[in-house]
Amino acid sequence: MPRINSTAELEELRKGIIAQKDPDKPCISICAGIACLGLGNDQVISAFEEEIKKLSLEDKVDIRATGCHGYCEKGPIVVIYPEEICYLEVKPEDVPEIVSQTVIGKQVIDRLIYTDPETGTKAAHQSEIPFYKNQSRLLIGNSPKINPASIDDYLAIGGYSALAKALFEMSPEEVLDEIKKANLRGRGGGGFPAGSKWETTRNAQPGVEKYVIVNAHEGEPGAFMDRALFTGNPHLILEGLIIGAYAIGSHQGFIYTRHDTPVLRKNLDLALAKAKEYGLLGDNILGSGFSFNVEVHLDVGIFVSGESSALMKSIEGMPPEPRPKYIRTSVTGIWDRPSNLNNVETWANVPQIINQGYQWYSSIGTERSKGTKLISLSGNIVNSGVVEIPMGTTLREIVYDFGGGIPNGKKLKAIHFGGPMGGTIPESLIDTPLDFDELKKVGASLGAGDMLVLDEDTCMVEMGRLFLDFLAGESCGKCVPCREGMRQMLKILTNMTQGEGKEGDIELLEEIAGVVGEAALCSLGRSIHKPLISMLKYFRDEFEAHIKEKRCPANFCKELN
């Protein structure tokens, strides 16, 4: 493949790719996301390959292993195009029937399509299934349609057109201005305006080399939307990153991700190599004169390395210990140079903002939180998976309309956002909209968008203990408030769950939490008390019952019942 040297050549290539694709040619799109693979989807994929070979249909039917389709609960998922017939919980033994009946015979197999558990209504197409029906899948919706290993698939859906537009029709200042006006807020947890952050790095230390970083660490338990998006559509994030680098004036980027997701690593390496080959990455991108390179770095197993200053230390080859951030990393980051870090989903939003403009983008969402948000649903919920919805959607809609409610006839007790540094809110606040500021007001920062649903059998004291137990193993240990404060809080909570809670424990917890929140070194340390504070606010009676009555109201703590 010769490299592309201009917008005209890019469009020419795109036309050629689209012309070669026959829209009526059957395509079997099989979800190869982490959850579906865990359910044995690799066997489903090989069964399809064998069956197609057996029937000598290789030229007539395409097979595509794709990124996550989102409906993880019902995996393995197979979608047959062009009809978009969606089959759930597919097993290798279903494969011959799917090929003969649906791919060739154009018939729907009733037992494999979605059936509403209450009404018995069937739905054959993805767009009719309640889980998908009202989502706005602007970012993740393309995943079933593309092979993550194929840059041509991404080009066929308009990929890299935003990059061409930015490089040839816009100045870096105009790109920056567009992102600022769109009010794109960081998806990693802070909700900080991305445009302002970019501007800080752009203006910091004139003349010094600047860096841009994709934070794909995603270490929070229950967060899997970034991995789903990045694995399924790596070029989308890469395109956003290159556009950001152009606006900021950076020529070197870093992608920081976890070592334990081999499919992501493979797709990412392939995407970088292909983009380079096509002239979309590297020297003189698309003949514009702008050059940009990317390196991949891996975390090898500690949560704190997702914190920005720790992550940057790790890229330098040092242990990931955070530093105080009275000077932001956007000013002094990797090797003390200005370094702009954004999360996977933030970068993924950039191409569509450039393509469709800030007016379009800011028409989605609420007054202060724009666009859509990916949410990973987990815990006591009928449909675990990844949903993408506009900001402003209420938590009730997420839990009941998309999530399908609580399984086993149990009642909803609480919703927890943001993992071990987030917050828990009770069922009574379920009409709160999905919005950075509204959620913060009620004590549950949105975090990266991981939403854990808890039913009536959940003991909140135990939940608080679990989060601290997780964090106690993940703190870097550099500062005393985090290292020792956490240990003491964990000890008090463990005592409570074992029937050894004492009068005054709650007050002591609040005191330690206050000190840790004020005095810890980094944003991880200063957030570890947050789940506990929100639980004490809304579920204080449960903590009191553990201490005063030696009773676990949820009947969970073994030693108390």
Partner 1 sequence: MNNDKIEQILNEHQGQAGALIKVMMEIQEENKWLPREVLVQISEKLEVPLSRVLRIATFYKTFSLTPKGSYQINICTGTACQVRGAQQVLDKVQELTGIKPGETDPDSKFSLETVNCQGCCSLGPLVEIDGKAHGKTAPDEIADALKKI
Give the whole-angstrom CA distance, residue 210 versus residue 4. Answer: 26
Give the whole-angstrom CA distance, residue 322 versus residue 326. Answer: 12
CA atoms within 13 A on the CB side of 202: 17
Closest distance to partner 1 from the beta carbon of 279 (Å): 28
Q: DSSP character for 77? A: -
Q: Which is nearer to partner 1, 7 or 143 (CB)?
A: 143
Q: What angle do CA 11, 20, 136 make, to 5 degrees?
A: 70
Stretch that binds partner 1, among 88-96, 99-107, 174-182, 300-308 (CB under 8 A): 300-308
- 259 forms part of the interface with partner 1 (CB under 8 A): yes
Residue of the chain from 178, 218, 239, 438 that contacts partner 1 (CB under 8 A): 218
Strands annotated E in 370-505? 372-379, 385-390, 412-417, 423-426, 450-455
Closest distance to partner 1 from the beta carbon of 372 (Å): 20
Closest distance to partner 1 from the beta carbon of 157 (Å): 25
Give the whole-angstrom CA distance, residue 271 versus residue 292. Answer: 15
Q: Which residue has the tokens 């919005």?
A: 435
Closest distance to partner 1 from the beta carbon of 449 (Å): 13
Q: Which is nearer to partner 1, 165 or 297 (CB)?
A: 297
Stretch that binds partner 1, among 53-61, 120-128, 190-198, 415-423 (CB under 8 A): 415-423
Q: Which is nearer to partner 1, 192 or 470 (CB)?
A: 470
Secondary structure (3-state) at 238: helix
Q: Which is nearer to partner 1, 319 or 504 (CB)?
A: 319
Strand ranges across the sheet with 339-343: 293-299, 252-258, 211-216, 339-343
Q: Which is nearer to partner 1, 57 or 302 (CB)?
A: 302
Q: What are the tokens at 204?
A: 């910091």
Q: DSSP character for 110? A: G
Picking from 33, 117, 136, 119, the residue whose alpha carbon sits closest to that of residue 405 is: 117
Q: What are the tokens at 172?
A: 């870096």
Q: Which is nearer to partner 1, 241 or 386 (CB)?
A: 386
Q: Which is nearer to partner 1, 34 or 520 (CB)?
A: 34
Question: End-to-end alpha-carbon separation of the chain, Å?
Answer: 69
x-marked contacts with partner 1 along 226-245 as a string, rule CB under 8 A: -xx-----------------
x-marked contacts with partner 1 along 458-477 as a string, rule CB under 8 A: x----x--xx--x--x--x-
Q: Which residue has the tokens 């943001």?
A: 418
Give the whole-angstrom CA distance, residue 555 versus residue 550. Answer: 11
Q: Which is nearer to partner 1, 278 or 417 (CB)?
A: 417
Residues facing 78 on adjacent strands = 30, 87
Give the whole-angstrom CA distance, residue 315 versus residue 525. Answer: 21
Residue of the chain from 38, 82, 105, 504 that contacts partner 1 (CB under 8 A): 38
Picking from 373, 350, 345, 29, the residue whose alpha carbon sits closest to that of residue 160 is: 350
Stretch that binds partner 1, among 46-54, 183-191, 414-422, 539-547 (CB under 8 A): 414-422
Q: What are the tokens at 29?
A: 């799109």
The 3-state secondary structure of 432-443 reads CECCHHHHHHHC
Residues 48-77 that bind partner 1 (CB under 8 A): 72-73, 75
Residue of the chain from 164, 395, 454, 522 that contacts partner 1 (CB under 8 A): 454
Closest distance to partner 1 from the beta carbon of 305 (Å): 9
- 195 forms part of the interface with partner 1 (CB under 8 A): no
x-marked contacts with partner 1 along 304-333 as a string, rule CB under 8 A: ----------x-xx-xx-------------
- 379 forms part of the interface with partner 1 (CB under 8 A): yes
Q: Which is nearer to partner 1, 104 or 302 (CB)?
A: 302
Q: How many residues bind partner 1 (CB under 8 A)?
A: 49
Q: What angle do CA 86, 92, 97 make, to 5 degrees?
A: 65
Closest distance to partner 1 from the beta carbon of 183 (Å): 29
Element (H, E) at 56: none
Which residues would be at the binding site for partner 1 (CB under 8 A)? 33-35, 37-39, 72-73, 75, 218-224, 227-228, 259-261, 298, 300-303, 314, 316-317, 319-320, 376, 378-380, 384-385, 416, 419-420, 452, 454, 458, 463, 466-467, 470, 473, 476
